[in-house]
């Protein structure tokens, strides 16, 4: 029996086909251009069906891109590549020191400081993860677990925090229940297994561990087929990485069957973002993403992109850093069937900021299958992008976000709140408070800073910034 036979073939192919299958919808016009696309990353040894861009991660000036279809060490043995995001240059290619056919090495990737982690969920039927030193490319550890069932899909998701690595095994068994899923925590320095993480109340077929994220002392895990609010409604869970204690269970306020909440997750500070890419946010399978307060479990915002259509699969991927979150929508049809888009949001307000597009977008790219944001740098994978005559070779795009400049004259708007436009509403406020000391309309003075009185300097500041702030 070939290694690709059986459940592993079923699982990997079903996951891949879910991403690249035919989707039918129509979409309205989308404006792209900010954030600016600065590089298109392509493997130096690009070939057809490499699926480069299946996974992406960024830390500082370094990006890692997974290519699970690479056949260097056998069919679909896989690889990952390190790039400098300031220049777009490829630094090195990573492969496991025991690579073999159908390992699917590069299916998942993570990076933090000098540590890169690459998942290979097809290795020896059970799966593995590999730890590398970023600067040298040296393999430091191979992570695996004794006693896993065949086709556990260990390495299907990976995350790295401060000294701790999390590896998801979404088809692992637990206490006699099949395909409950689990997450294993390892010491990043030694590669030693620390503990196994499961939900307090696991269920058959939950696929706990399909997505993982670590920040500080907290681990976030998605279980998109949990049935707590209906079949495949999904859940996400917060854990203490040091004790393994389950802290909270997250569910959206509008949880529904087949939403698959928990498909993708990301954690930054006190905020968690969890997607439900099958959620009916109006049209079927349009998708949603939800922001939660990690301390309380309270839902803060539901995110959705304007004009989302049927089968956009908004929320197929997600990444968050600080006040910014990026969400992939692989089924968007704007540039052709399954061309895909990604969307940038303000985490504090839930506001949609920008839509990200490839400058050479075309049908079937599935741009947005993977996303990552670090600071103001964003990477988006398009693993079916065709280039140089190589179909499904794949690529990844790097964008640079420029935060909007301060707009001091945007005092108010139609609803009484600033609206990123300086117009008659702001002018009327200055006139209403003319001569009044210490008011909200005092935005300038003789030296360009507020001077305590509303006068001609404030009026001139409004006129100087008249129009849209962006």
Q: State the pLDDT at residue 281.
A: 63
Q: CATH 2.130.10.130 in the chain, residues?
A: 6-400
Strand partners, 378: 373, 399
Strand partners, 422: 467
The more confidently predicted of residues 8 and 235 is 235
Q: Is 185 helix (H, G, I), strand (E, B) or coil?
A: strand
Task: Kindly state the helix (H) or strand (E) to which residue 169 belongs, with its residue range.
Answer: strand 164-169
Task: Kindly state the helix (H) or strand (E) to which residue 6 belongs, with its residue range.
Answer: helix 6-20
Q: What is the Cα–Cα distance from 448 to 461, expressed in whole angstroms?
A: 9
Q: State the pLDDT at residue 271.
A: 98
Q: How confident is the model at residue 31 (pLDDT cuts 50, 70, 90)?
A: low
Does the structure show a pLDDT above 80 at 282? no
Task: Please say whether the beta carbons of 262 and 206 come within 8 A.
Answer: no
First to last CA, the chain: 60
Q: Is the bond leading into 296 cis (omega within 30 degrees of zero)?
A: no
Of 91, 193, 178, the C-alpha closest to 142 is: 193
Q: What percent of the chain has pLDDT over 90?
A: 76
Whole-Å CA distances, 321 to 58, 227, 303: 11, 30, 16
152-169 pLDDT, tens digit each? 999 999 999 999 999 999
H helices, E strands: number in the chain: 3, 30
What is the reported pTM?
0.85
Residues 6+ apart with CB under 8 A from 7: 150, 151, 171
Does the structure show a pLDDT above 50 at 8? no
Q: In what order do the strands lie in the sheet with 208-215?
A: 208-215, 218-223, 235-240, 246-250
Residue 234: both structure tokens together: 């999904």
Lowest mean pLDDT among 122-136, 157-171, 177-191, 274-288: 274-288
Q: State the pLDDT at residue 1.
A: 30
Q: What is the Cα–Cα distance from 18 to 192, expressed in whole angstroms?
A: 34
Q: State the pLDDT at residue 5.
A: 37
Does the structure show a pLDDT above 90 at 273? yes
Neighbours of 403 (CB within 10 A): 9
Q: State the pLDDT at residue 332.
A: 84
Residue 401: both structure tokens together: 């976000």
Q: How confident is the model at residue 174 (pLDDT cuts 50, 70, 90)?
A: confident
Does the structure show a pLDDT above 80 at 310? no
Residue 174: φ, ψ to 5°: -150, 125
Lowest mean pLDDT among 39-48, 64-73, 145-154, 401-410: 401-410
Does the structure show a pLDDT above 90 at 30? no
Q: State the pLDDT at residue 403.
A: 85
Average pLDDT, whole number, for the chain?
90
Domain 6-400 in CATH: superfamily?
A: Integrin alpha, N-terminal (2.130.10.130)
What secondary structure letter does DSSP report for 127?
B
Strand partners, 142: 130
Dihedral of alpha carbons 59, 83, 18, 130, sign: negative
Q: State the pLDDT at residue 169.
A: 97
Task: Kindly state the helix (H) or strand (E) to which residue 274 belongs, with its residue range.
Answer: strand 271-276
313-328 pLDDT, tens digit each? 999 999 999 999 999 9
Of 16-25, 61-70, 461-470, which has the strongest mean pLDDT?
Answer: 61-70
102-120 pLDDT, tens digit each? 999 999 999 999 999 999 9
Q: What is the Cα–Cα distance from 170 to 49, expressed in whole angstroms?
A: 25
370-423 pLDDT, tens digit each? 999 999 999 999 999 999 999 999 999 999 998 877 889 999 999 888 888 999
Q: State the pLDDT at residue 192.
A: 98
Whole-Å CA distances, 137 to 106, 152, 156, 162: 15, 27, 21, 20
CA 409 to chain centre: 35
Q: Which long-range contacts (CB under 8 A, 24 or more apart) does 10-13 make?
A: 11/151, 11/153, 11/171, 12/104, 12/121, 12/122
175-224 pLDDT, tens digit each? 889 899 999 999 999 999 999 999 999 999 999 999 999 999 999 999 99
Q: What is the Cα–Cα distance from 355 to 307, expressed in whole angstroms?
A: 11
């Amino acid at each position: 029996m070939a290694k690709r036979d059986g459940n592993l073939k079923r699982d990997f192919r079903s996951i891949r086909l879910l991403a690249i299958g035919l989707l039918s919808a129509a979409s309205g016009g989308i404006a792209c251009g900010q954030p600016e696309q600065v590089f298109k990353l392509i493997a130096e040894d690009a070939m057809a069906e490499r699926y480069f861009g299946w996974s992406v991660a960024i830390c500082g000036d370094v990006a890692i891109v997974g290519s699970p279809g690479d056949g260097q060490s056998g069919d679909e043995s896989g690889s990952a590549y390190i790039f400098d995001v300031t220049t777009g240059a490829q630094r090195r290619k990573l492969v496991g020191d025991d690579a073999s056919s159908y390992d699917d090495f590069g299916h998942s990737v993570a990076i933090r400081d000098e540590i890169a982690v690459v998942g290979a969920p097809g290795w020896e039927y059970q799966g593995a993860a590999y730890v590398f030193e970023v600067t040298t490319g040296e393999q430091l550890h191979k992570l695996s677990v004794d006693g896993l069932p065949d086709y556990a899909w260990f390495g299907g998701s990976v995350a790295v925090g401060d000294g701790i690595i999390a590896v998801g095994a979404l088809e692992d068994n637990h206490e006699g229940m099949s395909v409950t899923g689990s997450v294993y925590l390892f010491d990043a320095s030694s590669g030693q297994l620390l503990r196994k993480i499961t939900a307090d109340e696991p269920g058959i077929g939950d696929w706990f561990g399909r997505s993982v994220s670590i920040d500080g002392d907290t681990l976030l895990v998605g279980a998109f087929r949990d049935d707590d609010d209906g079949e495949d409604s999904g859940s996400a869970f917060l854990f203490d990485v040091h004790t393994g204690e389950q802290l909270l269970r997250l569910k959206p306020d509008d949880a529904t069957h087949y939403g698959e909440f928990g498909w993708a997750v990301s954690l930054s500070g006190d905020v968690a973002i969890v997607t439900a890419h099958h959620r009916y946010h109006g049209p079927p399978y349009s998708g949603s993403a939800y922001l939660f307060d990690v301390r309380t479990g309270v839902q803060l915002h539901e995110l959705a992109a304007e004009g989302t259509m049927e089968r956009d699969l908004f929320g197929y991927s997600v990444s968050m850093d600080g006040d910014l979150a990026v969400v992939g929508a692989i089924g968007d049809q704007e540039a052709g069937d399954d061309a895909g888009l990604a969307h940038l949001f303000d985490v504090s307000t839930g506001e949609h900021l920008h839509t990200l597009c490839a400058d050479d977008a075309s049908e079937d790219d599935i741009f947005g299958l993977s996303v990552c944001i670090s600071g103001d740098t964003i990477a988006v994978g398009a693993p079916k992008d065709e280039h140089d005559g190589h179909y499904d070779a794949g690529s990844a795009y790097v964008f640079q976000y420029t935060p909007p400049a301060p707009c001091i004259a945007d005092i108010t708007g139609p609803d009484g709140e600033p609206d990123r436009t300086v117009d008659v509403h702001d002018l009327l406020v200055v006139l209403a408070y003319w001569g009044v000391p210490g008011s909200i309309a005092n935005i300038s003075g003789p030296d360009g800073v507020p001077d305590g009185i509303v006068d001609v300097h404030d009026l001139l500041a409004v006129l100087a910034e008249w129009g849209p702030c962006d």
